[in-house]
């Protein structure tokens, strides 16, 4: 069965500016908020739940402090809204295996930040094999991770794990200025930075639509 996925990320409280087409699965890869407050989460969930998708899945991002400081509240609100919230965990939707994490390498004291190396590997080592879609807020090293200053700030440890488990699709955001699809010649995984906000606060990119065959 062919599944239609709509992919968004980094909406930063501007989600209502997006037009989400009808789909089987709607995925948000984090940073729905600006300051990570509860009203922002509630506003996002009300909007997210009302989109024309059979299943909705999201992870938090580095701005979404409410999800880190109040995980049980986040899960309760998500469950009541009828959407899936993933924090280093898997969900099966429409025959597709999805696994999501909000974690990014440490910078600036943001939410879900972890030190590179052993600290962050405790999260990436949980990523299982056989995934259809891997959702992380941040990018792997060298793929959709180039900042406006020219630095590649993605996570090398994440890339190493992706090379091991080989998900069909890796969806992320975080770096607003490096959107689009990326590839490695020796890896079958499709890498997609789906950040909607531009680097500067003008305009929003449209959602990304992909199709996957479900078992």
Domain ranges of the chain: 2-213
Taking 70 as the threshold, does the pLDDT of residue 71 lie above it?
A: yes
Domain 2-213, CATH homologous superfamily name and number:
Metallo-dependent phosphatases (3.60.21.10)
DSSP reduced 3-state for 68: helix
Taking 90 as the threshold, does the pLDDT of residue 163 lie above it?
A: yes
pTM of the full structure: 0.97
Report the share of the chain in percent with pLDDT over 90: 89
**In this structure, are residues 52 and 65 in contact, taking their beta carbons and an 8 Å threshold?**
no
**Tell me, what's the pLDDT at 39?**
98
Taking 70 as the threshold, does the pLDDT of residue 90 lie above it?
A: yes
- Phi-psi group of 82: left, alpha or beta (phi > 0 → left; psi -120 to 50 → alpha; rest → beta): left
Q: How far apart are the first and last CA of the chain?
A: 7
**In this structure, are residues 107 and 155 in contact, taking their beta carbons and an 8 Å threshold?**
no
CA–CA dist 53, 207 (Å, integer): 13
Taking 70 as the threshold, does the pLDDT of residue 55 lie above it?
A: yes
- Can you say how many angstroms the Cα of residue 165 is from the centroid of all Cα atoms in its chain? 18
Taking 90 as the threshold, does the pLDDT of residue 108 lie above it?
A: no
Taking 70 as the threshold, does the pLDDT of residue 14 lie above it?
A: yes
Taking 80 as the threshold, does the pLDDT of residue 199 lie above it?
A: no
Taking 80 as the threshold, does the pLDDT of residue 201 lie above it?
A: no
**Tell me, what's the pLDDT at 80?**
99
**Tell me, what's the pLDDT at 200?**
65
Taking 80 as the threshold, does the pLDDT of residue 202 lie above it?
A: no
Phi and psi at 23, nearest 5°, equal -160, 175
Lowest mean pLDDT among 40-54, 67-81, 125-139, 198-212: 198-212
């Amino acid at each position: 069965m062919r599944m239609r996925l709509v992919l968004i990320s980094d909406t930063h409280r501007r989600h209502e500016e997006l037009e989400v087409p009808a789909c089987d699965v709607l995925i948000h890869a984090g940073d729905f908020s600006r300051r990570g407050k509860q009203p922002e989460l509630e506003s996002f969930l009300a909007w997210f739940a009302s989109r024309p998708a059979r299943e909705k899945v999201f992870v938090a991002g580095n701005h979404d402090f409410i999800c880190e400081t109040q995980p049980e509240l986040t899960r309760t609100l998500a469950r009541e809204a009828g959407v899936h919230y993933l924090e280093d965990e898997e969900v099966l939707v429409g025959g597709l295996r999805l696994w999501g994490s909000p974690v990014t390498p440490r910078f600036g004291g943001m939410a879900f930040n972890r030190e590179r190396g052993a600290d962050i590997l405790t999260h990436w080592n949980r990523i299982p094999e056989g995934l259809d879609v891997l959702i992380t807020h941040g990018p792997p090293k060298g793929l959709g991770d180039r900042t406006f200053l020219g630095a590649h700030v993605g996570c090398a440890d994440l890339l190493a794990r992706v090379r091991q488990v080989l998900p069909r699709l890796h969806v992320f955001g975080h770096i607003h200025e490096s959107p689009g699809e990326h590839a490695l010649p020796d890896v079958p995984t499709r890498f997609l930075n789906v950040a909607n906000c531009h680097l500067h606060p003008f305009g929003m990119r449209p959602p990304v639509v992909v199709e996957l065959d479900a078992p």
